[in-house]
A and B are shown apart, each in its own frame.
Chain A
Amino acid sequence: GAGVSQSPSNKVTEKGKDVELRCDPISGHTALYWYRQSLGQGLEFLIYFQGNSAPDKSGLPSDRFSAERTGGSVSTLTIQRTQQEDSAVYLCASSLEWAGGFSSSYEQYFGPGTRLTVT
């Protein structure tokens, strides 16, 4: 596609429910990132994928959060047993970079985000 797409754009869920957020990166981009934007914490990194593997999961806030990427393309971020503090905008970004290689900018292109509200 022309850009990074995310779905759903908005999600309202009850506390304790599980949610899945989807990211479709730019075609050919090998790197995929998840970030979270909230009023209290600003923009923070969650997880990084290179291809289908996730060498950096250091930003996941708890074991309720997990993510996978299949076929080197679509990624799903899953939050189990949602809590009110999980309410935020979840942003996905993709980048044309590869392990061990060099890209002039490693510029990350962001999707429109998913606004998650936990009631």
Chain B
Amino acid sequence: ELKVEQNPLFLSMQEGKNYTIYCNYSTTSDRLYWYRQDPGKSLESLFVLLSNGAVKQEGRLMASLDTKARLSTLHITAAVHDLSATYFCAVTGTMEYGNKLVFGAGTILRVKS
């Protein structure tokens, strides 16, 4: 069974600081996704990571994937208040039956001014 673990589950940061959210998954998977969710809103796609060593950056967020370690990281650089949200990583299961996403529990990020 594919399981996804995120840590930390809650992160309170000061503006301007750096931090990393970790996402571990239990079995082989080729695709890893990061989503952002604001309170009362739906999921917004941030990154899609398709291969080992993939690194993607958008603004103050950078995501990477190590398929051998079954680990993805979401690095936050010089946090700003607007980044406050819940961040989910998700991994696809087998190709046999589509690409259903298995989600981590989410990381609640609060950036304090």
Contacts and interface: CB of A to CB of B under 8 A. Distances in A.
A77 interface: no
The bracket for how many chain B residues form the interface is 20 to 34
Contacts of A107: 33, 45, 48
Contact of A104 (B50, B88, B104): B50
A110 B105 CA distance: 17
B78 interface: no
A48 B97 contact: yes
B99 interface: yes
Contacts of A106: 31, 92, 99
A7 B12 CA distance: 35
- Of the candidates B43, B48, B88, B106, the one having the most CB atoms from chain A within 10 angstroms of its own CB is B43
Nearest to A59: B100
Contacts of B105: 42
**A42, A95, A106, most chain B CB atoms within 10 A:** A106
Interface residues of A, number: 27
B101 interface: yes
B58 to A, nearest CB: 14
A105 interface: yes
A31 interface: yes
Interface string B32-59: 0101000001111100101000000000
B31 A45 contact: no
B65 to A, nearest CB: 13
B25 interface: no
Contacts of A50: 98
B102 interface: yes
Contacts of A88: none
Given A42-B106, A91-B43, A112-B42, A56 B100 contact: yes
Residue of A44, A108, A113 most packed against chain B (CB within 10 A): A108
A33 B43 CA distance: 13
Interface in A68-117: 91, 93, 95, 97, 104-113
